[in-house]
Amino acid sequence: MGRLESNIRLAAALKTTQPDDVTFRGSDGRIYRSVLTRHKLYKNGKRRFYVLLVETFDRRFVGDPETSLLLTALMLASRWFFTFFERWDETLKQFGSSRPDEEFLDACKQLEYNMEWIENEGVELGADNLNAMVHAFGDQQKARVERFYSDYYTAKDEMKSRLPETFEKLSPEKRPEVEGAIIKFLTAVRAQNAEFLKLCVRTYAQKRDADE
């Protein structure tokens, strides 16, 4: 809804809309993306926007559901690692106080884009289904897998609560708080990511060994 609303505002201002690359899982279990297809302006000033919900191809790995989800989890965790944590010092510099305001704003927007991309990919690959993910890791890991999800969303919500509605409205006085919130979030996710990667590799190897 956030991406759709953003595109509606851009269309109303006669600006280029963002790509229709945000997906969601419908109540039927299928993956859809919303596409803003048409915008009509009436003489009385009212507007009507036409939206299509287009079903996407199933991108989940073919094979055993459990090992496929473990591979999905490993891939998504690696996305986080390669995007933010592999060059950790550079990531910290992106959101440091020494960066010019324009570059800092670019880094903040890119953070949102990257998070959105990884999260949407997770939806398309079925990683948003907590029950299925718990089943893939096994009941003996249920509490820990549940906490991976809850810790992530708690950290994300805390960061979001300290960010401005739009980064264009970020004031110099607010910037230190935003810097701190982003670095705190990434630091928490970095620690979680390292542990999650180890759990993914260990569990996947155990599943493979059991099959052999």
Place of tokens 């542990």: 195
pTM assigned to the model? 0.71
pLDDT of residue 163: 87
pLDDT of residue 149: 92
- On whether the CB atoms of residues 155 and 189 are closer than 8 A, the answer is yes
Nearest to 84 by CA among 112, 105, 111, 104: 111
pLDDT of residue 15: 67
pLDDT in tens, the chain (212 residues): 667 777 677 767 766 666 665 666 677 766 677 777 777 777 787 888 877 777 665 555 555 667 888 888 999 999 999 999 999 999 999 999 999 998 999 999 899 889 988 888 887 787 888 888 898 899 899 999 999 999 999 999 999 999 887 787 788 888 999 999 999 999 999 999 999 999 999 998 887 777 66
Nearest to 46 by CA among 10, 17, 83, 12: 12
Nearest to 117 by CA among 80, 88, 87: 80
pLDDT of residue 191: 95
Number of helices and strands in the chain (H, E): 7, 3
